[in-house]
Amino acid sequence: MSFILWFTGLSGAGKSTLAQSVSKALRERGVTRLEVLDGDEVRTHISAGLGFSREDRRTNILRIGYVARLLARNGTVAITAAISPYTEDRDEVRAASTAPFVEVFAAASLDAVAERDVKGLYKKAFAGEITNFTGVSDPYEAPSKAEIVVDTGVETVAESTQKILRGLEALGLIAAPRATSEARP
Amino acid sequence: MSFILWFTGLSGAGKSTLAQSVSKALRERGVTRLEVLDGDEVRTHISAGLGFSREDRRTNILRIGYVARLLARNGTVAITAAISPYTEDRDEVRAASTAPFVEVFAAASLDAVAERDVKGLYKKAFAGEITNFTGVSDPYEAPSKAEIVVDTGVETVAESTQKILRGLEALGLIAAPRATSEARP
């Protein structure tokens, strides 16, 4: 069963890390057709030249959505990890997909990601050295109907990964792992 | 077995028509995972805003190549139908693909496509109303090592389609159809 697993969340909320972690877990469960479309990688390959205006952000998301749905409708799991700050754009991608679309909200608070500031970007954004920075000087519209919500400001990567896998099981998109009995006679 | 079937040829040489025809034939032979990345469709979805300069043409081809190889490395046959006039760009896409890359040269002559002029573009190009038009005011570098060559200026669509299918069989990428005996007792 193929599907689109669409992460959304602030910069530094752990989308790419979780995309890789879920990817690894799915491969261990036997999923062989799978691609992670990471935000940065996609900007290199299909969105070079696009900036961070409202229109360019929209174009970027629709391009990722296009690639993801080509993959998913041919039996490949597509995991995306772009900020995708606008509800309208996410919903447009959702509506265009014929394969199941699973939105995962990496719901770390602005305080949490700015405190961590892994790439040092928030410091620059708050200082005004980077403009159009999501959550600081550009909007982030949190999803109200995400299929899965993980609080990456609090949970460990392993905890969030497990939550996502259980969510996919509950949606019937992956099988639950077989119970392994350790107590054998 | 998945692969990239990469058409190249002048505007009006029949690339899109053959892409659709080969796609249909492959589906009839049981190929279920397959996408046609048509030049015009791709320009809408991932290359909007790009023009026809040397650099923009290159960017367009590399983007199509990126999507094609994501598909092909996950078991989906990717058929592309962009002019792709430059050998360097085609070879770069070929080199980046881990799945087999099959170049199909739709080798209709300029005279043949200009004579037919299905979309009325050659008339405008020769009149100078369209600039950077491949074969007229922009280069077309014919491939010297295409795996399959079809002379779409002379052959019918059915003939070229058969030639391509035989080529794919010869490359071991699809199975030959089972012989059906018409003479039954």
Structure confidence by residue, pLDDT tens digits, A48-60: 889 999 999 999 9
A126 inside domain? no
- Chain B residue numbers with beta carbons less than 8 Å from the beta carbon of A49 are 49, 59
B79 inside domain? yes
Closest Cα in chain B to A47:
B46
Q: What is the pLDDT of residues A127-136, one digit of tens each?
A: 999 999 999 9
Would you give the DSSP letter of residue A83?
Answer: -
A105 inside domain? yes
Share of chain A above pLDDT 70, in %: 96
| Inter-chain CB pairs, A–B, below 8 Å | 47
A99 inside domain? yes
Instruction: Write the burial class of residue B151 (CB in 10 Å: 0-12 exposed, 13-18 middle, 19+ buried).
Output: middle
Compute the distance between CA of residue A185 and CA of residue A182 in angstroms, rounded to an integer: 10
Compute the distance between CA of residue A151 and CA of residue A140 in angstroms, rounded to an integer: 16
Q: What is the mean pLDDT of chain A?
A: 94
At residue A178, the pLDDT reads: 74
The residue from B84, B97, B137, B181 that is catalytic is B84
Catalytic residues of A: 84
pTM, full prediction = 0.93
Closest Cα in chain B to A32:
B74
Compute the distance between CA of residue B161 and CA of residue A179 in angstroms, rounded to an integer: 51
CA dihedral A127, A106, A91, A67 (to 10 degrees): 90
Q: What is the pLDDT of residues A20-75, one digit of tens each?
A: 999 999 999 999 999 999 888 888 999 988 999 999 999 999 999 999 999 999 99
What values do phi and psi take at A40, rounded to 5?
-70, -40
Compute the distance between CA of residue B16 and CA of residue A153 in angstroms, rounded to an integer: 49
B78 to chain A, minimum CA–CA distance in Å?
10
Could you tell me if B5 and B22 are in contact, meaning their C-beta atoms sit under 8 angstroms apart? yes
Question: ipTM of this predicted complex?
Answer: 0.91
Residue type, A71: L
A56 inside domain? yes
User: How is residue B171 written in tokens?
Assistant: 């490359």
- Find the domain containing B154 and state its range: 4-170
CB contact under 8 A, A46 and B67: yes
Which stretches does DSSP call E strand in A39-168?
77-81, 101-106, 148-150
Could you tell me if A14 and A87 are in contact, meaning their C-beta atoms sit under 8 angstroms apart? no
- Chain B residue numbers with beta carbons less than 8 Å from the beta carbon of A62 are 45
A175 inside domain? no
- Chain A residue numbers with beta carbons less than 8 Å from the beta carbon of B76 are 71, 74-76
Q: Report how many domains make up chain A.
A: 1
Compute the distance between CA of residue B49 and CA of residue B45 in angstroms, rounded to an integer: 10
Say which residues have a Cβ less than 8 Å from residue A95's Cβ, sequence separation at least 6: none
Compute the distance between CA of residue B57 and CA of residue B85 in angstroms, rounded to an integer: 8
B183 inside domain? no
B57 inside domain? yes
Nearest beta carbon to residue A46 from set B35, B66, B71: B66
Closest Cα in chain B to A66:
B45
CA dihedral A167, A168, A172, A178 (to 10 degrees): -100
Read off the CATH number of the domain in which B88 is found: 3.40.50.300
Q: What is the mean pLDDT of chain B?
A: 94
